[in-house]
Amino acid sequence: MAAHSAALQAAVLAVGLLLVGADCGCGSTSREDGAHSHKQGAAFRYSREANEPPASVQRSGAEKFGDSFVFEGLLSEEVKNGIDQAVAAAPWWLPVKEADWRHPEGPDSDISQRMDHPVLHVSWNDAVAFCTWAGKRLPTEAEWEYACRGGLENRIFPWGNKLEPKGQHFANLWQGDFPYTNTGEDGYVKTSPVTVFPANGYGLYNMVGNAWEWTADWWTTQHSAEEVHNPRGPSLGKDKVKKGGSYMCHKSYCYRYRCAARSQNTPDSSASNLGFRCAADAR
Ligand SMILES: [Ca+2]
Ligand SMILES: [Ca+2]
């Protein structure tokens, strides 16, 4: 499958000062955000839209494993009835056989009407494979966060501090009572097309919400205070950093749709709310 042509557009982001992490005023869930000033040394290019599909040159990890995690609320009764395992800490995630980037909700779903949505069910390993194939790379966490801020300083969201300025939705998130009721007030209970919500000051869409995005960095709970120039995170780890939150994020459970917020998964993980976009060094 050819990549969506718009996905190959890129924004060139200039050198600038980056504040990685911030206080979110949201209690204990903010501990991992950290707060240190870093110089983002090199200019870099960034895909405007996070909807690049995995390379046809390689089967995705979900296809190799034979299953991938899908939010229970999106599954047909038929698919749900065939599953007898769940994740104890998050029972709304079910391992669905034959769920992959072509079949986001399992074998009875497809992406034919979603070619302008973010790709899902792509592991970190496969995201790296795609970006490499495309002559690009994953962004570092610092690059991602710099891109998310869109030129604004000390703001919670890519557009400012207010979640819904003048009552307008700026990102695809969860409205209602997670995980039971998603009212879809923003227009979408699953992913949305990548350009339906406003771009940030750098012309980048969906930096928060819609789909989580992998970064290149290994996860650690705190940012290093020593690594002040173009930080790349720890040299080793178990999990990779993901940023931005998804259409499943609600403040009551996942206040991760902030530029500073972060979470993690193992590099072979895939799920129905996790995608990526590629970056490249500016030439
Ligand atoms: Ca939504
Ligand atoms: Ca996103």
Ligand 2 centre to CA of 257 (Å) is 8
Ligand 1 centre to CA of 113 (Å) is 17
Residue type at 95 in one-letter notation = P
Residue 60 pLDDT greater than 90, yes or no: no
Per-residue confidence (pLDDT) for residue 280, from 0 to 100: 82
Ligand 1 centre to CA of 164 (Å) is 13
Question: If you ran DSSP here, which 8-state letter would residue 179 be given?
Answer: T
Per-residue confidence (pLDDT) for residue 24, from 0 to 100: 39
Ligand 2 centre to CA of 208 (Å) is 4
From the CA of 158, which ligand is nearest?
A: 2
pLDDT average, residue stretch 180-185: 96
pLDDT class of 91 with cuts at 50, 70, 90: confident
From the CA of 190, which ligand is nearest?
A: 1
Rounded Cα distance, 53 and 188, in Å: 21
- Give which of 154, 246, 239, 166 is closest to 208, Cα–Cα: 246
Q: pLDDT for 207-239, tens place per residue?
A: 999 999 999 999 998 777 776 677 888 999 999
Ligand 2 centre to CA of 213 (Å) is 6
How many whole angstroms from its chain centre is CA 146? 15
Ligand 1 centre to CA of 263 (Å) is 20
Rounded Cα distance, 122 and 63, in Å: 10
From the CA of 245, which ligand is nearest?
A: 2
Q: 188 versus 142: which is more confidently predicted?
A: 188
Residues 125/136, Cβ–Cβ less than 8 Å: no
